[in-house]
Structure 1
Amino acid sequence: MGHLFTISVAVLAATGSFLFGYDSGVMTDVIESPNFLQYFNTTQTSAVVGAINSTFSGGAIIGSLQGGLTVDRFGRKATIQLGALICLVGATLQAAAQNLPMIFIGRILAGWAVGLISMSVPVYQAECAHPRSRGLIIGLAQQMIGIGFIVSTWVGYGSLHAPASSQFQWRFPIAFQVVPALVLGLGMFFLPESPRFLVETEQYPEALRVLRKLHFNGTNEAWIQAEYSEIRATIEAEKTLKAPGWMPMFTVPQWRTRLLHGVAIQAFTQMTGINVIGYYQTIMYKALGITGNRNTLVAGLYNCVGPLANLVFVVFLLDRVGRRRPLLFGTVAISIALVCEAALNSANPDGQRVGYSVGGVFFLFAVSVAFSMSFGPCSWVYMAEVMPMQIRGKGNAFAVGIGNWAVGTLWNQVSPLALGRIGWAFYFVFVAWNLCITLPVIYFFFQETKQKSLEEIDLLFGGRALGPLSDVSVEGMGPEARAEKEDMGSTMNVEKADLNRNNIKRIE
């Protein structure tokens, strides 16, 4: 019952990730609409199209950073619901747009909503998940992002069959955003709050009840009590350390290190080039000689391949093989596929060589598969895992806002212009970054976090708040506070040892 309920919670919360995917993907087909381009007097490779996508990413930066405040003050649920509400407003403005400013404002609001959701859903899922299945639970976020892309593509593909004179071609796909936003906003009323947030706000009986509902299987009551005790002990110790504002993330060495890990994994994900392909793949297919309905059809097939690969990976592999090895594999595999893609494009400048065009499509699909079995799910899982409770809200907000959305905003604005001017040579920007920066950083610095509790992951980074000699526990404290903290840490460590947590885990 517990595991099934946890999966149900994760799936419904991941509707936010579906919204993320749909909002991100919907413009792929909208900019393919002749009516849309004519209505707003623009072209696919214009700065206007780049601005439509970059304003979305810019709004997401604002939403992500704002989420760092709301998840800690009002909770994970309320933050997700706020994102759904803002999305409803943004979708309405876009669907009813009479001019470009309405499109831009609507895209900013939609991005704001997705920014809130993209940083809060992984936090919520990580704090509700069992350590043994956390990769699967958080990996569902990437799965639903992919499904959102699929639905946006096929809704757009069907809408493009309307007459070129009909605004239905682009208004309906944009308006469809309200469906997942309503499901998410209303559905969250029926889900529990994160047990860790409940402990942090001193709602102890409710926290234990939720933890039992999430993980009790009829025989593991001892594990439930041990998990609750460790969460409560850790958070109570951390309350003596938690400083207001954002600066402690950058001044406490251990927290700064963990923040850098979160920012790095999000930035490296963007530097794979996956979102450039996602947003502008129809332009890439035209360079391969694929035009008309065949173009959007191939885009629809592309958006199906990634989620299928992601599903296999998160269900069968992620919690077994860990995080580091898939990330190393993805870095190399994506780089090879992009080099092959560039080579085929350079040898087929007019798109008339069918074999080369098919090969070009194959390698774009290969990028999607490699990404979906590496950075796609691992970026959200690793980011959510490495953040300690003291900075989890603000840390995830900063990592998503800067590492994901700020970098994404840059590429959303630049990519249509670069594809129009330098074409296939643009791919080598991502290849160079992957091989020269991403690969060595992951290999030498990233930690393996699979199947560890969020509290145990503290040990991978040099200590935890419970430890009396932890660098975090004494940072910035006066002599009296430091002595009090050391006494607290010693007492809690004794209590924790008495629980014999490792034996309890084996019983489970």
Structure 2
Amino acid sequence: MGRSFTVSLAVFAATGSFLFGYDSGVMTDVIDSKNFLNFFNTTKTSNIIGAINSTFSGGAAIGALQGGLTMDRYGRKFTIQMGALICLVGAILQAAAQNLAMILVGRILAGWAVGLLSMSVPVYQAECAHPRSRGFIIGLSQQMIGVGFIVSTWVGYGSLHAPVTSEFQWRFPLAFQAVPALLLAVGMFFLPETPRYMIETGHYDEAMKTLRRLHYDGTNDDWIQTEYTEIRTTIDAENSVTKPGWLIMFKVPQWRTRLLHGVAVQVFTQMTGVNVINYYQTIMYNSLGITGSRTTLVAGIYNCVGPVTNLIFILFILDRVGRRKPMIFGAIGISLALICEAALNSQNEDGTHRGYSIGGVFFIFCVTVIFSLSFGPCSWVYMAEVMPMQIRGRGNAFATGVGNWAVSTLWNQVSPIALDKIKWKFYFVFAAFNIFVSLPVIYFFFQETKQKSLEEIDILFGGRALGTLPEDVTAKPTAEEREHAGERGIRMGRFDEDNRV
């Protein structure tokens, strides 16, 4: 089967990322529904709208952290299916909401599900991908997030054409997410568990069979055997000297460094401000003098631009230029776009200057284009790559939960208030962070991981963790086990020296 099977598997698993995008974007149109605002007796910039969006992000933070336990204990597949089922329940509650409490609980459950999916899908893809195309494979997560935003926008746009007196305006968009959720929950039964998790749990024959299904092209038996040996050697060596848990991520110096890289790239992604635009772009367009159905139409076009750019990037660029350079470009480019946006808005506070309004829309679009050429796909790829097998589940859970969703929760709550009170000055918060924090950290500390196996990436961070663990986090192996692990460590070192990219 080889590459076609791997790509098909990655695309289907990314249905979880589609739910991420759809659930994140659907509220943009829902809060533009007059029927919704009247039903809940609120306005677009109220604390209630901030609470609806922030409870979604808060639930996602909890779901992402919980996914670290689920992934290590029950596997990658099960975690994705669990997220899909929770999303289904959340969709039903939101669509059937009769009061604010119901919609808040539904948003919390939807967020919890998206948290699970946002950290598990990239890991599932990373552990199934070939090193040469791993950027493209994991980049499909960001691609499907974008597709989810597109679908949510146009479903919402179509629904808003219903009469103002009809609750169809907002109930149908909220109910629609149940379709992909059910599809994902059922479809994952027909996909394999990742080879690395199979080896981790002792299912060696199944792991080899899955590796061949994923990567065999009729000529690469030696590569598959080498890949299998390297994965098993690494996992056996780590398991022989460590015990699982959350604290070990912080006690082993190399793993702590890699965890910080994963958290940092997620924080930097949120601090581009792109998700504030995704949630509240209709408010931004209103401030530019764009009102009525044109607001949703422009939002729909905006949501199409990013995924098209992202697809071009992951297909032709990402696995060639790597991860660092695009993120450096993104930090600079997004900052400049936000500064220009603020400058134009400062001269057009009443939204009556047509030229300035067109320019404002242009620079908002620039943000999503630059984001799709940088942090959008690179953040998920880099986070999934830098985590070693022993902490990959919990590490990605922590990075996603804290770096992505906790920060998102903050901005979801305060952004509508900030856009109402300080308006264009709000953009400078994100521009300053990109210039003075994200850019120097990426330039001086981030590692380039393109086209290296997940096991070879260990070398970038100072070698295997074997033999470097503090005494208080070891599993107290016997003398025989230590000797066995030492022999494996020597073989690993020789293998890495001979095969370093």
DSSP-derived class of the 2:269 partner: helix
Q: Deviations over 1:139-184 (max 9, x none)?
A: 0000000000000000000000000000000000000000110111
C-alpha distance in 2, partners of 1:409/1:491? Answer: 44
Change (3 A) 1:238 1:347: same
- In the TM superposition, 1:339-378 aligns within 5 A as 339-378=339-378
C-alpha distance in 1, partners of 2:284/2:497? Answer: 57
CA contact (8 A) 2:240 2:485 kept: no
TM-score (norm 1): 0.96
Question: Is residue 285 from structure 1 mapped to residue 309 from structure 2 by the alignment?
Answer: no
Q: Where does residue 111 of structure 1 map in the other structure? A: 111
Change (3 A) 1:33 1:224: same
The offset of 1:486, in angstroms, is 5.6
Identity of aligned residues (%): 71
Amino acid at match of 1:281: Q
C-alpha distance in 1, partners of 2:180/2:475? Answer: 50
Question: Is residue 45 from structure 1 mapped to residue 42 from structure 2 by the alignment?
Answer: no
Q: Deviations over 1:189-244 (max 9, x none)?
A: 11110000000010000000000000000000000000001111111111123323
C-alpha distance in 2, partners of 1:457/1:429? Answer: 34
Q: Where does residue 488 of structure 1 map in the other structure? A: 485
C-alpha distance in 2, partners of 1:269/1:498? Answer: 35
CA contact (8 A) 2:241 2:477 kept: no
TM-score (norm 2): 0.97
- In the TM superposition, 1:262-277 aligns within 5 A as 262-277=262-277
Q: Where does residue 218 of structure 1 map in the other structure? A: 218
DSSP-derived class of the 1:370 partner: helix
The offset of 1:496, in angstroms, is 7.4
- In the TM superposition, 1:74-473 aligns within 5 A as 74-465=74-465, 470-472=467-469
The offset of 1:485, in angstroms, is 3.3
DSSP-derived class of the 2:158 partner: helix
Question: Is residue 19 from structure 1 mapped to residue 19 from structure 2 by the alignment?
Answer: yes
DSSP-derived class of the 2:241 partner: coil
C-alpha distance in 1, partners of 2:298/2:65? Answer: 36
C-alpha distance in 2, partners of 1:175/1:351? Answer: 35
DSSP-derived class of the 1:243 partner: coil
C-alpha distance in 2, partners of 1:321/1:310? Answer: 14
DSSP-derived class of the 1:279 partner: helix
RMSD: 1.7
Change (3 A) 1:476 1:83: closer
Amino acid at match of 1:409: T
C-alpha distance in 2, partners of 1:369/1:292? Answer: 25
Amino acid at match of 1:376: G
C-alpha distance in 1, partners of 2:475/2:152? Answer: 55
The offset of 1:484, in angstroms, is 4.3
C-alpha distance in 2, partners of 1:248/1:111? Answer: 28
The offset of 1:498, in angstroms, is 7.4
Q: Deviations over 1:256-294 (max 9, x none)?
A: 111000000001100000000000000000000000011
DSSP-derived class of the 1:289 partner: coil
C-alpha distance in 1, partners of 2:131/2:469? Answer: 23
The offset of 1:349, in angstroms, is 1.0
Q: Where does residue 9 of structure 2 map in the other structure? A: 9
Instruction: Give the total of aligned pairs.
Output: 501
CA contact (8 A) 1:94 1:174 kept: yes
CA contact (8 A) 2:157 2:297 kept: yes
Q: Deviations over 1:87-124 (max 9, x none)?
A: 00000000000000000000000000000000000110
C-alpha distance in 2, partners of 1:208/1:35? Answer: 55
Gaps of 5+ in 1: none
Amino acid at match of 1:119: M
CA contact (8 A) 1:234 1:455 kept: yes
Amino acid at match of 1:131: P
Gaps of 5+ in 2: none
CA contact (8 A) 2:240 2:475 kept: no
Q: Deviations over 1:307-338 (max 9, x none)?
A: 01100100000000000000000000000000
C-alpha distance in 1, partners of 2:361/2:475? Answer: 62
C-alpha distance in 1, partners of 2:336/2:496? Answer: 50
C-alpha distance in 1, partners of 2:472/2:381? Answer: 28
CA contact (8 A) 1:241 1:473 kept: no
CA contact (8 A) 2:240 2:477 kept: no
C-alpha distance in 2, partners of 1:166/1:160? Answer: 9
Change (3 A) 1:293 1:82: same
